[in-house]
Amino acid sequence: MLKYIAQATLLLSAFTLIAKLLGMVREILVAEAFGVSEELDTYYAAILIPTILVNVVFRSLGTVATQRILNAQINPDTTDFSRLIEESISWLLCFIVVVSALFICFNSLLTRLLFSSFSPDALEKCISISQLMVFLVVFGGSSAFLSCLLEAQKSFAFVGFSQIIPPAIIIIFLLLSNSCWSMSGLVAGTLIGVLLNFLFLLFAYLQKNRFSFKLLSFFRLPSRHLLSQFLSLSVASLVFSGSNAVDQQMASLLGPGSISSLNFSNKLISIFGTLLFTPLVTVIYPHLIELQSSLSNKQLLKLITKCTAFVVLAALPITIAIIIFSPQLVSLTFERGKFTQEAANIVSLCQMMYAVQLPFQIGGMVLARLASAMSLNHILLRVGVIGFIANIALNILLMKYLDVVGLALSTSLIYLITFFFLIIFIRKKLTLT
């Protein structure tokens, strides 16, 4: 099993490397075209709510479906596997209709509430862009769900390759757009990229599965356990994602370009974390579900302690290197075109603060996956609420003294807090059970 995990991790890491390199090229082009500006702030604000919906609703639904499918594979005599797949797809379609309708109805109101500090022109532009992002909700949500199903079937090559499509399409559109149409190219590239990503994942899924949709599946109520797990996980995801919304809303109060500064400063952190550790976490998740039914709590606690300690210690040298060389990294990567030296200095300071989160973010990912695999999503909910409340308090305190840099430091402190609370709650659960 360890050999298979290592091979799958290397394969997924290779695709992730390509995707992140393309993502860095995309960010360089975006920085050159827009710099740190209110115009770019409107784009990041416009995709905020759709991105939250994708993570909260559809990825949570996919995670719960993955748990059911893997449990069905472990106990094939107790579950109708084909019916399970039909119900999962049917509920996906149901959620697409409901969530998309709610997004269309309330998107404008939520955008005005969250970003009322924008100038009138910027706010109207943000709303216009966000209305188009209903396609991001539909196709991005479907892609997140299909990725979870493919991960459950250990089809990591398809999942890995799909990461390459969105940044590649955005790069093409940005290169084809002139300076006057850069925002149009960015928006069009985002929508076309998510559509092509969905079509690829749908093709990959149909290669391995026979699609059967029955209208009656809509009227099969999910079990109480399934509904409970989905609600706990989705609310926990909402709380965690809500922290990002709070950060961006508070950043909008600090003046034009503040949202862009936060987004640029977190790009390299995200790349290192995703490239080095996310493939491992993705690959071991199905195995955690299988192992937790065969290992004792003591053995499981020992295994997860080793995994968490490994990723935390491995992330420390990267964190230190990013903090030391942050000015050079930002200058080399972004400082060109409309991205000025003044903007680079602010982004560099924010990046130093964001780098502190890396060990605790990765360690938290491992612990969160374990909690999800063990159907302990209520623990994620409790930790998420603690983190959300602490995030608001720390944002208010630190932005008063450190401006936008304080928001970045607040985020890192939240990852530290939630990491230790996850350790406490999971250890307590495994020890007492």
The pLDDT assigned to 273 comes to: 73
Q: 288 pLDDT band (50/70/90 cuts)? A: low
Q: What is the pLDDT of residue 226?
A: 65
**Please, what is the angle between helix 341-355 and helix 267-276, to 10°?**
40
Gyration radius of the chain over CA positions: 21
DSSP state of 110: H
List phi, psi (to 5°) of 335.
-75, 85
Half-sphere exposure of 205 (CA within 13 A, CB side): 22
Give me the count of residues in the chain.
Answer: 433
Is residue 111 within 8 Å of residue 126, measured between CB atoms?
A: yes
List Cβ neighbours of 376 (8 Å cut-off, separation of 6 or more): 426, 429
Say what the pLDDT of residue 216 is. Answer: 44
| Beta carbons within 8 Å of 53's beta carbon, 6+ residues apart | 99, 103, 137, 141
Residue 423 to residue 408: CA distance in whole angstroms: 23
Instruction: Tell me the mean pLDDT in the region 332-354.
Output: 92
- Spatial separation of the C-alpha atoms in residues 285 and 274, rounded to whole Å: 15
| Cα 370 from Cα 109, distance rounded (Å) | 37
Q: Which residue has the tokens 């210690």?
A: 313
Written in H, E and C, the secondary structure of 49-76 is HHHHHHHHHHHHHHHHHHHHHHHHHHCH
Higher-pLDDT residue of 360, 280: 360
Instruction: Specify the pLDDT at position 215.
Output: 47
In this prediction, residue 219 carries a pLDDT of 46
User: Could you give the maximum distance between any two Cα atoms of the chain, in Å?
Assistant: 64
What is the DSSP code (8-state) at residue 339? -
The amino acid at residue 210 is R
Q: What is the mean pLDDT of residues 336-365?
A: 91
58 touches 100 (CB < 8 A):
no
The mean pLDDT of 150-179, rounded to a whole number, is 87
Question: What is the per-residue pLDDT across 82-134, written as a single tens digit (0 to 9) for each?
Answer: 666 777 777 788 889 999 999 999 999 999 998 998 999 999 999 999 999 99
Q: What stretch of H or E contains 201?
A: helix 182-208
Residue 285's pLDDT band, with cuts at 50, 70 and 90, is low
Query: Looking at the predicted structure, is the pLDDT value of residue 237 above 80?
Result: no
Q: Which carries the bigger pLDDT value, residue 416 or residue 374?
A: 416
Residue with more model confidence, 63 or 179: 63
Q: Which of 232-236, 325-329, 337-341 has the lowest mean pLDDT?
A: 232-236
SS3 303: helix
60, pLDDT greater than 80: yes
With a pLDDT cut of 70, the percent of the chain lying above it is 83
Asked if 126 and 40 touch (Cβ cutoff 8 Å), the reply is no
- Computed over every residue of the chain, the mean pLDDT equals 83
CB 87 within 8 A of CB 220: yes
